[in-house]
């Protein structure tokens, strides 16, 4: 069969299982088999595929039909314009988390002083998406990236080496803030925040393939956020701030949680383009917002 026909039948198969963006996904999978960028597929529509190539493609298509996310099949994904290696031990970074990174960059610029290195902790780093994006944008910052999962940290280590930030980003295994060796100026975290009762509504891609540990936030979704707030005293410098990703509708509860632990904190809810409260910013000193 020729390339354009194979691509068409792979797309049809994905469409029948109601896979979103079926044609892009088919292109990505075929691009992987032929080791070419998906845009190049259209330059050789008449190319005759070998039977090994066709079989390989159908094995990948079958995995996608079984709801495995394409990012896991490819072992890669893009976040903040950066390519990340990922595997089944790491949550797939979501585009909505780019808002957290942007806000962290803005805040880091504001709290930086010439001659003073700012220290940031990315808590629950997974594949290192947030830590690395910040490291590349803020070469003067020191970044600690923690995760409880040693397997996730192995993937984060691969990404740090690939992007040349392995001396700037220090990977630490442990629960939330516990492994930090010194107080930090800024904490950024996309901790698990899915409520127990929401799990059944997640897509099979998320529920059956992504690490539950990276998603499950307990009864109200806030177990990990609360645990981290409990650990904060002693882990923060005098003038510190934090940015946390939250789920839809959690802004009020997270704000009151923060107020319990830090009554003096100045708290701001930041909305994403869809109008959903997505990031909570907490500043632990007066006069700056």
Residues engaged in binding ligand GLN (CB under 6 A): 94, 190-194, 206, 215, 245
Note the maximum CA span of the chain.
68
Q: Are 45 and 51 in contact (CB under 8 A)?
A: no
With respect to ligand GLN, which residue has the nearer C-beta, 53 or 272?
Answer: 272
CB of 147 to ligand GLN, least distance (A): 13
With respect to ligand GLN, which residue has the nearer C-beta, 168 or 226?
Answer: 226
With respect to ligand GLN, which residue has the nearer C-beta, 26 or 193?
Answer: 193
Please give the C-alpha separations between residue 77 and each of 29, 70, 142, 175, in angstroms, as whole numbers. 13, 9, 25, 26
CB of 114 to ligand GLN, least distance (A): 35
CB of 73 to ligand GLN, least distance (A): 18
Q: Are 193 and 96 in contact (CB under 8 A)?
A: no
Please report which residue ranges of 35-171 form alpha helices under DSSP H. 51-65, 70-74, 98-111, 129-137, 150-162
With respect to ligand GLN, which residue has the nearer C-beta, 80 or 193?
Answer: 193
* Residue matched to tokens 């600690």: 144
CB of 90 to ligand GLN, least distance (A): 12
Give the integer Cα–Cα distance in Å for 282 and 264: 10
Strands lying side by side in the sheet with 277-283? 169-173, 142-147, 119-123, 184-189, 236-245, 277-283, 266-271
CB of 221 to ligand GLN, least distance (A): 8
Q: 85-104 burial by CB neighbour count: b if 16+ within 10 A, else e?
A: bbeebbbbbeeebbbbbbbb
With respect to ligand GLN, which residue has the nearer C-beta, 11 or 190?
Answer: 190
With respect to ligand GLN, which residue has the nearer C-beta, 79 or 193?
Answer: 193
Helix, strand, coil distribution of the chain in percent, nearest 5:
45, 20, 35
CB of 241 to ligand GLN, least distance (A): 20
With respect to ligand GLN, which residue has the nearer C-beta, 15 or 99?
Answer: 99
Closest Cα partner for 76 from 84, 65, 68, 67?
A: 84
Integer Rg of the chain from CA: 21
CB of 246 to ligand GLN, least distance (A): 8
């Amino acid at each position: 069969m020729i390339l354009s026909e194979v691509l068409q039948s792979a797309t049809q198969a994905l469409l029948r299982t109601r896979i979103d963006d079926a044609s892009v996904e088919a292109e990505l999978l075929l691009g992987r088999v032929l080791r070419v960028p998906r845009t190049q597929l259209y330059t050789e529509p008449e190319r005759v595929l070998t039977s090994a190539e066709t079989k390989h493609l159908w094995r990948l298509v079958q995995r996608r039909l079984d709801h495995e996310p394409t990012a896991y099949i490819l072992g890669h994904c893009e976040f903040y314009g950066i390519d990340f290696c990922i595997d089944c031990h790491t949550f797939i970074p979501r585009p909505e988390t780019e808002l957290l990174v942007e806000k962290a960059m803005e805040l880091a610029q504001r709290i930086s002083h010439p001659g003073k290195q700012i220290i940031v902790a990315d808590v629950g780093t997974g594949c290192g998406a947030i830590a690395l994006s910040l490291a590349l944008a803020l070469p003067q910052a020191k970044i600690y990236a923690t995760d409880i999962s040693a397997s996730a940290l192995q993937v984060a280590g691969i990404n740090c080496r690939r992007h040349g930030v392995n001396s700037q980003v220090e990977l630490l295994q442990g629960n939330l803030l516990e492994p930090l060796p010194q107080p930090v100026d800024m904490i950024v975290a996309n901790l698990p925040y899915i409520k127990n009762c929401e799990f059944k509504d997640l897509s099979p891609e998320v529920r059956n393939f992504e690490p539950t540990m990276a998603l499950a936030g307990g009864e109200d979704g806030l177990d990990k956020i609360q645990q981290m707030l409990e650990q904060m005293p002693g882990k923060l410098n005098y003038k510190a701030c934090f940015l946390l990703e939250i789920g839809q509708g959690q802004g009020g509860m997270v704000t009151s949680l923060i107020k319990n632990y830090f009554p003096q904190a100045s708290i701001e809810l930041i909305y994403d383009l869809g109008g959903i409260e997505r990031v909570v910013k907490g500043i632990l000193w007066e006069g700056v917002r």
